Every structure is written in C-alpha cells, then in structure tokens.
Structure 1
C-alpha cells in the first residue's frame, strides 16, 4: 500500500524537480540566439597538480598515503577517478582526508575562476526587500 500526494507516491519528486540542469539547457536552446548567457564561476579540480608538487605521482601511492596519514580508505579505482577527472561532488570527509594527506588546503585543490562580469548588484533575481516603508 502506498501513500499518494498530488497524484504521486511518497518519496517521488514532482516532475521537473531534480532535473534543473536539463530544464535550464532546454530553456536556453529554445530561446535561441536571443538568450543571454550569464557568466559562470569556473571550478578546476587540481588534485594532480597538488600531488605533483608533493612528489606523489600514482593512484596507488596516494591511496597508501591516505591510509597512513589520514586513516582514510578509498578503493584504488576511486582514487584513480579522483585523479583523472573533475568530480561532480566531493564528500567533506574525502576532502579532509586529501588535505590531511597532501598537507594542503581546499583552496589548493580547487581553482576558482570568477568572471569579471559577475556582480550580485546586477542580478535581477537577487532582489531583497529593504524593510523600509
């Protein structure tokens, strides 16, 4: 027996929730050339650069150091994946273990490139009530 809310089962998101990326991409393509691209912050995953600066070159070596220095165990495949491609998300525990192991800060692992055009003052979606009447 399932409980339903507004025609859907509990635990299911309403249609359209959770696919924000898809909806935004569809809206942009539907708008065609008249759509305005907003500048986005670019994030670069720099794990390999940080590893190289610490003379750590292989996934197996990083995995062993994670265990020794941080008491944190990841599979060899997971370490290899972290090295080869930018992760979609990183758990805080993994980030802490990497920073402890490589003796670095999160700022060293993430390179942030903020476009100059980004300004909260120019964003019409960021209008806050002032409370003045």
Structure 2
C-alpha cells in the first residue's frame, strides 16, 4: 500500500507540474515571445513541448501503476514490481528533465547536452512497462484476480 501511495503522489504531482509547464508554454505562445517563437528557436520550442508531453505521460503512467497495484494487491509477489517502481521514478525525472535542459541551451540549432538524459530515461520507462507486464502475466498464471 505504501508503493501505491507513493505513485499516486508522484503521478498527481507530475501531472500538476507538467500541466503548469504546458500553461507556461501556451502563455509564451499567446504573448508572441520571440525567444520562444522565432524560427531560430524551433529546437527550443520542440524540446520544451516534448518535456511537457513526456512529463504529463509519466504522471499518467504513475497513476496507472498505482491503480494496478491497488486493484491487484498480491501483484508485488509476482516479482519485478519493486524494480519497475524505481525505473518509473527515475524515468519520470530523466525524460522530461533531458528535454527541458536540451531546450535551455541550444547549440547551433541542435538541442543542448541535457538531451543525453533522454535515452536512459526512455529505456527506464520501457523497463518499467516490461517488468509490470511480466508481473501481470505471472499473476494471471497463478490465477490471481
């Protein structure tokens, strides 16, 4: 139950944070801020949009993770859930942060070095999904609800 609460907190926190990022990006767009909308700033705009989208996605995945564990209390016994939880938490930091930092320092039209955090974050998110899929499959095999 402690893991359920942790992922509920993180999910709603991530959603609130990255909805706020989205509102901020819309404000920059609405106020026609050149540092965001100029053609030369396209990589920044793209990176920050990806940070918003991936942060929001990870927030929803946290909520789905928590809902799965809540609906299936014995699932953690299937193994891999603890590691999946850690992978999801790390992915939730690395993915949006990598895109955000990649957009802060644009180097000749390319994203900044912060974007190097994105591939490990993506792999951690994939690992979390695969670990949970395996845990669910094992739970089904045992005949759990």
TM-score range relative to shorter protein: under 0.3
Larger Rg belongs to: 1
Normalising by structure 1, report the TM-score. 0.26
Going by fraction, where is helix more abundant, 1 or 2? Answer: 2
TM-score by length of 2: 0.24
The structure carrying a bigger strand percent of its residues is 1
